[in-house]
Amino acid sequence: MSYNTILTEVDDKVAVITLNRPQVLNALNDELMDELGNALLSFDADDKIACIIITGSEKAFAAGADIATMAKYGFNEVYRGDFISRNWEEIRKVRKPVIAAVSGFALGGGCELAMMCDTIMAADNAKFAQPEVKLGIIPGAGGTQRLPRAVSKAKAMDLALTGRMMDAVEAERSGLVARIFPQAELLKEVKVIAKTIAEMPLLTAMMVKEAINTSYETTLSEGIHFERRLFHACFATQDQKEGMAAFLEKRPAKFTNS
């Protein structure tokens, strides 16, 4: 499959999707979001892939939704066209782990796209912001909901009301980012993490993802009930038998994703 606005690469069991509109700092337009959704769902359906990385360029993960396109929109276009809902949330259907590898700007929709991923790894030059207020709009791709869950209400308000940029160190300290790497090492290091995840039993990794994501959608007691049922289901897999036998026999496990 060839795309105009993204690049795709497969490295063993890891798929890398690179946002590729360098002339506009990877501003997210309809074509890019359609292609990204298509690539994500294709890799999710591919049995050879176990983990997906979304990244951008050294200068920009993505500088937000495409302002040149949005500037022409009125209420009719965005409401009847179902802007954002129509094609930005395909990533939520992906059941395999997805890592955002963020270098440079992750602004507005770019920050929101990173937050839709399962975890965010940042380069030391990463900058995060929700600057929509300066354009006369509010964050529209989940920023007002995911950012406070990630960094606290106080910091989310600070960021979304001032539009200021937060650097990688502040983002890691605030809980938005899992780890920081030197910019030149980012993709190499994130591939190592993705390969580590890809070597885990796939069904179990998918259950970890599903259970943690459920914690954002439910009460504590319902979430724990859901976790307990998935935990019980693990005991129906071959990989539970193999993982525990390998531990007791002091040998590496050979998982079969079954």
Active-site residue set: 65, 109, 112, 132
Q: Which of 124, 140, 122 is nearest to 132 (CA)?
A: 140
Residues 66-105 that bind ligand CAA (CB under 6 A): 66-68, 84, 105
d(CA 50, CA 33): 22
d(CA 224, CA 159): 32
Stretch that binds ligand CAA, among 8-16, 24-32, 148-156, 196-204 (CB under 6 A): 24-32
3-state secondary structure of 92: helix
In the complex, least distance from residue 4 CB atom to ligand CAA, rounded to whole angstroms: 16
Residues 113-152 that bind ligand CAA (CB under 6 A): 131-132, 135, 139-141, 143
In the complex, least distance from residue 157 CB atom to ligand CAA, rounded to whole angstroms: 16
Residue pair 181/121 in contact (Cβ under 8 Å)? The answer is: yes
Residues 6+ apart with CB under 8 A from 207: 230, 233, 234
By C-beta, is 21 or 96 nearer to ligand CAA? 21
In the complex, least distance from residue 52 CB atom to ligand CAA, rounded to whole angstroms: 21
Which letter, b or e, does each residue of 233-248 get, where b requires 16 or more Cβ atoms within 10 Å of its Cβ?
A: eeeebebbebbeeeee
- Residue 180 sits in the site that holds ligand CAA (CB under 6 A): no
Q: Which residues bind ligand CAA (CB under 6 A)?
A: 24-25, 27, 63-68, 84, 105, 107-109, 112, 131-132, 135, 139-141, 143
